[in-house]
Amino acid sequence: MTTNFGGKFWSFSFYLMYFAAVAALFNFVALFYEGQGLPGSQIGVLMGLGSLVGLFAGPLWGGLADASRRHRLVLNIAVIGNVTAMFCFPFFHSFWAFFVLIIVQALFGAPIVPLVDNATMAMLGEQKGYYGLVRLGGTIGYGMAGPVAGLVVERYGLQWTFWMYSALLLVGLIAVQQLQFSQKPAERSFLHGFKKLLGERKWIVFLLIVVLAGIGNGIISAYLFVYLQKIGTSTTWMGWALTISTTTELVVLVFASFLIKKLKPRGLLTLGLAGTAIRCMLYGVIGVPWMALTVQLLQAVSFPLIMVAGVSYADENAPAGMGATGQGIFNSAFMGIGFAVGGFFGGVLIQYIGVQQMFFVVGAVILAAAVLYGALQGKEPIPQPA
């Protein structure tokens, strides 16, 4: 078995490369579609499609890995298939070609993060509270890649974002070969465990809120650069916007263990939901680039809190032998359903009311939900696992 230090190092390394790849590509995708002349409604479909496919693909791959105990093989196949689809993207120029490529990319891309999260928690063993520190690799990679990607796009064009993504993720395959996965057998059949997982009220309520959080964060991920471009921000400063936001994650992830002990997953999720809402509403009223960049500081109380809360909850509450499946379900709710709905309806709303109005409306709805959820949480104590 890999030493605890080794487990932290290889997980940290993979998160570094994977989220550097994400920063190099996904924030520029909507701009790429606009450059291809696609209308807002088609952009919305494409931005939401990948997450929708991932909704089903993530748990299915996770279930296959848990049932077969071939987690590393599944992860290798997923990375290679994902890279192949993304590398081919710039060679096509029609909506339907993009539609097919996104389906392929999402089918292979959906299980990557849940499987690595599952391996990370298994390798940490009794030190699961260090997940936030290990996940810092992703924050650092995301922040470092943003400005570089902005410069490359400004000089060579948007097609290079797809090739940067492919190259960085291929490097990440080196770390994949060193990850160790739990081989703990399931207490009963896989199907029984899956039904139990989705039949518990506490899981359903938690996942519903995660979906709403995913809608807000999905809209930010998909349309932040469209908003920044509208208010006159250069692509170089768009890259620095990513660095600003991810730098703020550092403090949160360093203290993730403390936060999860104090607030518990539901409390942490409530705070992340409110932070996401306020961030969206501020985009809706700010029209000056330097002021918009300061709003990126609110990343600290949005995406990382939701991720830490979700990964911790899934690890604590998944049935024995179903860790990858639990992580896949959480990831599908957050970055599957949530990002799909946010990507699709965000594009439609932009077409009819404009990007800033879209951000404000979505933020107001999510803020109302955060207040309601926080009030209900205060009246209903959460039983904690032993």
Domains and CATH numbers, the chain: 4-177+193-379 (1.20.1250.20)
Residue 152 and residue 25 in contact, taking contact as beta carbons nearer than 8 Å: no
Instruction: Write out the two tokens for 335.
Output: 């970055």
Task: Report d(CA 126, CA 224) in Å as an integer.
Answer: 38
- What is the pTM (predicted TM-score) of this model? 0.69
- Assign 205 a pLDDT band (cuts: 50, 70, 90): confident
Q: What is the pLDDT of residues 127-166, one digit of tens each?
A: 776 777 788 888 888 878 877 888 888 888 888 999 999 9
Q: Which of 10-14, 63-67, 97-101 has the lowest mean pLDDT?
A: 63-67
- Mark 349-377 as b/e (b = at least 16 C-beta within 10 Å): bbbeeebbebbbebbeebbebbeebbeeb
Neighbours of 99 (CB within 10 A): 13
Amino acid letter, residue 366: I
Q: Do 326 and 315 form a contact (C-beta atoms < 8 A)?
A: yes
CB 305, CB 268: distance < 8 Å: yes
Summarised one tens digit per residue, pLDDT across range 11-43 is 899 999 999 998 888 778 888 888 888 887 788
DSSP state of 381: P
Take residue 275 and report the two structure tokens written for it: 């932070």
pLDDT band per the 50, 70, 90 thresholds, residue 329? confident
Cα distances (angstroms) measured from residue 381 to each of 305, 376, 384: 20, 9, 9
Separation CA 213–CA 342 (nearest Å): 10
- Can you read off the two tokens belonging to residue 338? 């949530």
Helices (DSSP H) in 231-255: which residue ranges?
235-254
| Per-residue pLDDT reduced to its tens digit, 217-253 | 989 988 888 899 898 888 778 878 877 887 787 777 7
Local structure of residue 126 (DSSP, 8 states): G
